[in-house]
Structure 1
Amino acid sequence: MKKSFVYILKCIDNTYYTGITSNLENRLFQHSSGFYKNSYTYKRRPVTMVFYTEFIDINLAIEKEKQIKKWSRVKKEALINGDYDDLVNLAKKKFE
């Protein structure tokens, strides 16, 4: 089975970019070199990989990438820092 990776980059403007790839090393090179001029990271270089995780099921990887993209900055930082127990408590909640 082919591996897939979900990754998070920290950009020079202190924003995060979440993506998915089957070749992590090549994709990081593409982000760093500005290979795609219309990409989010092109004008936010240099970028630093701050998190990645590996999947065997591409469908699960796509689902997780979409999920992480919706997360708040604080929740992404908890994931990046390995504070997994905090992730549940950082879900967006509406209080009336």
Structure 2
Amino acid sequence: MTPDEYVEAVLDLVERIPEGRVMSYGGVADALAERSGRTSARLVGNIMARHGGSVPWHRVVTSAGRLPPGHEVEARARLRAEGCPLRGDGVRMSDASWHPDATG
């Protein structure tokens, strides 16, 4: 998979995350690892920062549930409007985490 194809794969996966659910940067990388050979949460974060404006970027958080740095207020508002389970400083990952093979 070329770097451009990986960017597209990340963005395509993020578009599939259902409303009210989230994936971690590492979860996105892990879901694409078999096809891409890449497993870097940092790379996914960079892709989201550079190219994620047209996808539901607010649904990608850290593995601890922290919201996208520098965009916490907007991400929290968007996730709250979607009914995502929130906690004090982010998302309750145990209730909000989604995986591509999940049924919903």
TM-score, shorter chain, exceeding 0.5? no
Q: Please give the TM-score of this superposition, normalised by the length of structure 1.
A: 0.27
The structure with the greater share of residues assigned to strand is: 1
Q: Please give the TM-score of this superposition, normalised by the length of structure 2.
A: 0.26
Q: Over alpha carbons, which structure has the higher Rg?
A: 1
